[in-house]
Structure 1
Amino acid sequence: MNDTIYNMSSYFSILQGNRWTYFNKSDRGEKEVSYKIEGSEIFHGVEVPKKVQVDNEEEYFCTLVDPVYGVRDYKHHLGMAPNYLIYTPPTLVIPAKMRAGDIHYNTCHLFRHNSDGSMQDEGEFYDITVFDGVENVTVPAGKFDDCLKVTLTRDDVFSEIVINVVLTEWLAKGIGIVKSDARVNIYSPQGGEPFIMNSSDLLISAVIGGKKVGK
């Protein structure tokens, strides 16, 4: 087992203007999808950048990357609803320091709001983050050595619906996510047919701090 302690925050970049384009393959087909860091929102006096899906700007996360605390989600604005989730307190999904094999557990309260800001309901958020190891990854943007492989199991739990996401990400230092695999399972505790979606993303190109990566 690799005993190296990794600074996880150095594998994310949230500078304004950063942009990533991926080849996305899912149960629904194939397409290109892009994300950008554009704008910010204020939470209790803290300015938090927005990572926005370019073709659906109602879909975005407010995520803060801090070298001391790690990666924390403050808000998820759901483009398909549209409504949004506020993590209370902000949820620490990836600690600042981890070794390969480390497991991080986290929970917080969730407030779900309608698009006009009114309260819809509330629930609980549960997350398990596993640092699987270090791998070399080849994607359309090129070869990236020593990527951190991290698997997150996230559950948004409300009285009438549960959203389970199992997300594996490969992170390149200073760039961010170069590859990911996801499985989404949305179901009701009362029963019924679940909605299940599998997808993967491969980095085609990125602009990080004004410098182009890949094609």
Structure 2
Amino acid sequence: MAIYRFRISFEDFDEVVREIDIKSTQTFEDLHKAVHRSTGYSAEKSSSFFVSTDNWIKGDEIAYLPVQRKIDRGVALMENSKLNKFIEDPHQKFYYIYNFDRPFDFHVELIKIILETDPNIEYPFLVKSTGEAPKIIDKNNTGAIAVSANPVSTEFDFLNEMDFVPEDTEELEAMGGRGINAEEKADDDTDEEADDSDEFSENDNYEDEEYKEEDY
């Protein structure tokens, strides 16, 4: 019985790599679950392997927890599909999509065929693990917020960000240099209000006279 060594890498995170040894007579479901023991993801998600060309063009599908339309179409199921039935090349490739609800795409490549099993190893066996699998945010848990190890306030302080300085700061400092005090400022405000009041009164009288002339 041969052992297949597969190299599994994220399509968008090629620095994250897993290498897994698995018996040729084991199934795609066994490989699927072995991958996610190594990533920490839940294996109980609708996923599929696709027989692939060297250019990662997807061909025949082997599915796990497929939707009904795929079942009606007669898609191959991972639990019933042995790996050796789909290996036609010593460097056979599979395109793998994990979790169709929030998918991650993987490249799966056969990189070695070992002709003898090791009786001391339980297969599938993780041979190599490089890089940390990216985090998954549950779309159903909309209230969840990722918090960093050293959390900082995420509120936007508009005034500080814009280096805001009140427009009258220089004027106040200048007035302070001349010794202006609160009482003088209050007196000035009172005089201005009185002037405004007189102006409005004159306008009112003018309108009344104009109204009377029209009546006349």
TM-score of the aligned structures, taking structure 1 as reference length: 0.28
The structure carrying a bigger strand percent of its residues is 1
TM-score of the aligned structures, taking structure 2 as reference length: 0.28
The structure carrying a bigger helix percent of its residues is 2
The structure showing larger relative contact order (alpha-carbon pairs under 8 Å, at least 6 residues apart) is: 2
